[in-house]
Amino acid sequence: MEEPTPEPVYVDVDKGLTLACFVFLCLFLIVMIIRCAKVIMDPYSAIPTSTWEEQHLDD
């Protein structure tokens, strides 16, 4: 008696692409949450100091 040959494994391209996009979206969301949290914790660090030095008030 011969053993049955195993079925070939088919990769679902749509499912793989959807999963890859979902993982990329989750990573992007995590990076944006961390970036926004840093800005909320110290909002003035995001502003370059050169903009404050360049302003001249004509009083």
Residue 24 lies in a domain: yes
- Calpha distance 19→3 (Å, rounded): 35
Residue 22 tokens read as 């979902």
| Distance between start and end Cα atoms, the chain | 101
In a domain, 47, yes or no: no
Expressed as residue numbers, the domain containing 19 is: 15-39
44/35 Cα distance (integer angstroms): 14
The reported pLDDT for the residue numbered 12 is 87
Do the domain assignments include residue 54? no
- Has residue 57 been placed in a domain? no
Residue 22 lies in a domain: yes
Q: What percent of the chain has pLDDT over 90?
A: 41
Number of domains within the chain: 1
The pTM of this model reads 0.57
Per-residue pLDDT reduced to its tens digit, 10-36: 778 899 999 999 999 999 999 999 999
Please check whether residue 35 lies inside any domain of the structure: yes
Collapsing DSSP to helix, strand or coil, 24 comes out as: helix
User: Mean of the pLDDT values across residues 29-51?
Assistant: 85
Tokens representing residue 39 in the block? 């800005």
